[in-house]
């Protein structure tokens, strides 16, 4: 069995999707810890990155339900891919807010969710932004958007391998 066949085989197991779920949920818990225990104020971009992680959690839960069902697996992969691409774009934009000169460091002052899903009103303790996007806070030597870029690049790498592997026999 070659490398991609093994990845395809693994993607058809609940354990694969459970790992993705644990990964995304762990980052959500870390973000909430920083916000509510360390009292760090999330900015608009932080909240959008948080929403993306919830999207990845949703994809992982869907994939976990029936990973051997081709349609469900592809739908979960599509949700994961879409969220990762959007998250990467948001993380890069967030990083640019911190790298640009102070005169150009502006982001929205409040989140902009669709009227049919006002997450910031339903769950303000998770989705309300009241921080400044240009504020640089470092953890283990990297800023929040730098960590986000790393997370989303790692996800882009994994999702690319997983999608390519779907075109190889899983050996089942």
Could you give the residue numbers annotated as active site? 43, 46, 50, 107, 133
Going by the DSSP 8-state scheme, the letter that residue 138 receives in this structure is: E
- What is the phi-psi region of residue 39: left when phi exceeds 0, alpha when psi lies from -120 to 50, beta otherwise? left
The three-class DSSP label of residue 17 is helix
In angstroms, rounded to a whole number, what is the distance separating the alpha carbons of residues 18 and 121? 30
**Cα–Cα distance, 114 to 136 (Å, whole number):** 28
Residue 39 burial by CB count (10 A; 0-12/13-18/19+): exposed, middle or buried?
exposed
Question: Does residue 7 contact residue 169 with C-beta atoms inside 8 Å?
Answer: no
Q: Which residues contact 111 (CB under 8 A, 6 or more apart)?
A: 44, 47, 48, 119, 120, 127, 128, 129
């Amino acid at each position: 069995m070659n490398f991609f066949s093994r990845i395809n085989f693994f993607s058809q197991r609940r354990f694969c999707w459970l790992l993705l779920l644990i990964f995304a949920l762990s980052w959500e818990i870390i973000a909430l810890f920083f916000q509510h225990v360390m009292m760090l104020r999330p900015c608009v971009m932080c909240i959008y990155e948080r929403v993306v992680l919830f999207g990845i959690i949703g994809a992982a839960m869907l994939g976990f339900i029936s990973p051997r069902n081709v349609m469900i697996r592809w739908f979960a992969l599509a949700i994961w891919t879409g969220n990762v691409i959007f998250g990467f774009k948001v993380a890069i934009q967030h990083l640019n807010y911190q790298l640009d000169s102070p005169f150009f460091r502006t982001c929205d002052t409040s989140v902009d969710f669709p009227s049919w899903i006002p997450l910031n009103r339903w769950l303000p303790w998770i989705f309300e932004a009241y921080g400044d996007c240009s504020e640089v806070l470092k953890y283990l030597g990297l800023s929040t958007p730098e960590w986000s870029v790393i997370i989303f690049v790692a996800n882009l790498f994994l999702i690319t391998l997983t999608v390519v592997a779907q075109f190889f026999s899983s050996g089942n």
